[in-house]
Amino acid sequence: FRDINGPQHPPGPTQIPYIGRIHDLPIQHMWLKFKEWADKHGSAGFFRTEMLGANFIIITDEKVAEDLLVKRAKYNSDRPVIRSLFDSKSSEGSMEYLPLMGKNQYWSRQRRLTHAYITEATNTRYNGVMYHEAKRWMARLIENPDNFQASLEDMASKVMCQLTWDDPSVSEYCTKSAWGLLTQMSPAGPITNVLTPLWHLPWHLNPWKRAERKRHDEQQAWWMNQLLTVRERLGEGEMRPCFTRQFLEKTSLKTSISGDYEASSVLGMLALVGIFTVAGPLSYWLVSMVHHPEWQATVQREIDDVCGGRMPTLEDSPKLPVLRACIKETMRWKPNVPTGVAHETEADDVYNGYFIPKGTRILPLDWAFLRNPEKYPDPDNFRPERWLEPGWPTYQAPLTQFPTIKGMTSFGWGQRQCLGMSLTQDELLIACGTLAWTFTLKRKLRDASAGPAGGFLPVPLDKSNSLLIIKPDPFEMAFEPRSDARRADALRLWADADAEDAAEREAFVRAARRGKQPVVEQKLPSPGVPISGEFLFWVLSPDGRW
Ligand code: HEM
């Protein structure tokens, strides 16, 4: 007891040998308990706890995060093992999940590739994919408003599936696949992520490992199939621009990506990672607007003034500070990765006189950063004016540029900072702007025949799941088109976009068949041909898979 609670350790709740504090850390809404401990023990901007032998530093002050995760990024940018995934850190060469990888060669080359692709897609305005999907979403909301949670996620998924494989038709499967991985990697997922020794039970007594084997293999096979499909279509000249085409045509020979297995994984992961991350703030946008009709009206007025009746676009962004402020305030008020994503230290360290051993997990607690009353006065309330009016600590001019969500603490720190900030910013601006252009978001009548006298269904503020990336629990609300004309406009815009897209795809294929598109030479060896030691490892992996 004396040793593990001694003064050389950072402050924190009293630790019980080996168990640490696992007994009173709830799996559900864990960030609230961390915040409670922070208020008690975190005056230094961080505190320490233990769980089944694993050491944790929970950071609650941005300055400490800057010191530990940015200034000392050189040895604080590894990731902890996620017990319920096979080789989550890729230390044995699995090369599968970039955001979870340790700080190794696979991480560094995949991060470089992902960064280059997202930047290029941002510069080419995503080839209009986001506008296309926003229009589809509006039409779906008009036709089936009650299915809004599914269609919202599907919109985010379709954007990523188009960007990655030019194929929006696989979006539902992709979302399912993303959900499987998200659940598997979250502390609130399988019990083996918390009671880690259970993971080591023999195979026939271990339902968790068997289930994960199945999930993993299906996902990998699907990613591989996506890559092979693109290659086949590319060979026939029928493939429009997308990340996978870009890889097969331009990158494959120049990069150190080892071959099909790694390529299919880095591209598949890229598609997955952009679904729930974007869908989270978008769901909370609905909650914010329903609860703050005065801000919704201000956003709508701003869009009407700037766009004069048409849908907002990214070019309008400098003139839409209220829209940007409401998006940013939504992400502050309801952060969708409230615990932050853990880094792991690679060396012993001493910080402010406290010893931090190698292998410590550092959790930048976003919930605490975003509820710091000095930086964010009245932190528990939705106050977009904090970004718009001089006098608030977070106000920044010029309003043509600020507020911007880029650089928010929610996107993490240092060498592991999120690669999707621009994409998120653009997608949220288009989706939230288009929503405000099309609908007024409202509470739903409890009983349509009784009218307002019958009351309204609640839109809860604090009900969510507790996965690493959270989303609100299912609720009901109403999407009221702003006028009949606007409703008709939105449906027509989608019908036109859909017809144009179909015609474009057909013309592309016809041109290819007539030989107008160059048949692109295949630059990667065909699947199954070992191209490196790592690839060989996977062909012959002990599980006899890929
Ligand atoms: C609101 C939306 C998003 C939030 C809040 C978010 C948050 C995060 C966080 C907290 C991390 C870990 C940072 C760290 O370890 O310090 C991360 C990493 C990452 N994010 Fe995002 N993200 C979002 C959207 C996206 C999107 C849309 C993409 C791509 C399409 C993306 C791609 C990535 C990747 C590839 C990493 C791994 C970086 C690495 O480990 O080196 N993110 N994100």
Q: Name which residue sits closest to atom 27 of ligand 1, judged by CA.
A: 274
Q: Pick the most confident of 25-29, 173-177, 526-530.
A: 173-177
Output the CA torsion 495→497→503→505 (10° steps): -130
* CB-based pocket (< 6 A), ligand 1: 98-99, 111, 114, 270, 273-274, 277-278, 281, 336-337, 340-341, 343, 410-413, 416-420, 423-424
pLDDT value of position 6: 75
Of ligand 1's listed atoms, the one at least distance from the Cα of 424 is 27
CA-to-CA distance for 457 and 445, rounded, in angstroms?
A: 6
pLDDT value of position 516: 61
pLDDT value of position 542: 39
Instruction: Calculate how far, in angstroms, residue 359's C-alpha sits from the geometric centre of ligand 1.
Output: 22
Of ligand 1's listed atoms, the one at least distance from the Cα of 77 is 15
CA-to-CA distance for 411 and 69, rounded, in angstroms?
A: 13
**pLDDT, tens digit, for every residue of 188-212?**
999 999 999 999 999 999 999 999 9
Give the ipTM of the model, two decimals please.
0.99
Whole-number average pLDDT of the chain: 93
526 versus 105: the higher-pLDDT residue is: 105
Instruction: Calculate how far, in angstroms, residue 197's C-alpha sits from the geometric centre of ligand 1.
Output: 29
Q: What is the 3-state secondary structure (H, E, C) of 56-82?
A: EEEECCHHHHHHHHHHCHHHCCECCCC
Of ligand 1's listed atoms, the one at least distance from the Cα of 79 is 15
- Tell me the pTM: 0.94
Phi-psi sector, 114: left (phi>0), alpha (psi -120 to 50), beta: alpha
**With pLDDT > 70 as the criterion, what percentage of the chain qualifies?**
94
Instruction: Calculate how far, in angstroms, residue 97's C-alpha sits from the geometric centre of ligand 1.
Output: 12
pLDDT value of position 7: 75
Q: Which mutation among 277, 406, 423, 428 tests ligand 1's pocket best, with the greatest number of atoms within 8 A of CB?
A: 277
Q: Is 418 annotated as a binding residue?
A: yes
Report, as an integer, the average pLDDT of 137-165. 98
**pLDDT, tens digit, for every residue of 232-250?**
999 988 899 999 999 999 8
**pLDDT, tens digit, for every residue of 108-125?**
999 999 999 999 999 999
Tokens of 137: 């979403």
pLDDT value of position 537: 37
**pLDDT, tens digit, for every residue of 342-359?**
999 999 999 999 999 999
Q: Give the strands of the sheet with 361-364, arranged side by side.
A: 46-51, 54-59, 361-364, 343-344
Instruction: Calculate how far, in angstroms, residue 276's C-alpha sits from the geometric centre of ligand 1.
Output: 11
Residue 302 confidence (pLDDT) above 70: yes
**pLDDT, tens digit, for every residue of 509-538?**
898 888 765 444 433 433 333 333 333 333
Residue 541 confidence (pLDDT) above 70: no
